[in-house]
Amino acid sequence: MTHNNFKIREIQVSDNPKIAKAIRDVLIEFGVPKVGTAYADKILDTLYEAYQFEKAIYYIIEKDGEIFGGAGIKQLDNYEGNVCELQKMYFLSEARGIGFGSKMMEICLKKAKEFGFEQCYLETLPYMEDARKLYRKVGFKDLDKPMGDTGHYSCNLWMLKDL
């Protein structure tokens, strides 16, 4: 999918350092705590490898060889059940407000259905107001407690959608 020269494609191993930097830059911009969030995740530096599993995929947004964000789908960690997690959905400011969030959600949720997941879970933060509006718009509902154990104890908002 191409839009304003941006395109969405599957992650490649050469994208690792660029997507790690993009995600950390977004977290810094939002003043997100560095502990107990994606910022501290060791896998941020090896995202390509982290999604080389059955029923897992990560997409990035690219423009002119630079990476402006991404999002992925994977089985929810430490959870018994047919539930995936929408993971690491972050966009740099240049890729916001032009319809990419909706498009990326559509692609990820469609893929989750193809993989056979029944529900999609996500964790977010109070700062991420625009993201939460988008999640609600596509049918995510607020939960009063987390599911599984992602290790992101600073992410204190949880949502779930039936696929």
Give per-residue pLDDT as tens, 50-62: 999 999 999 999 9
CATH number, domain containing residue 84: 3.40.630.30
Note whether 121 and 84 are within 8 A (CB): yes
Average pLDDT (87-102) is 91
Number of domains in the chain: 1
Range of the domain at 41: 2-162
What is the CB neighbour count within 10 angstroms for residue 126? 9
For the entire predicted model, the pTM comes to 0.92
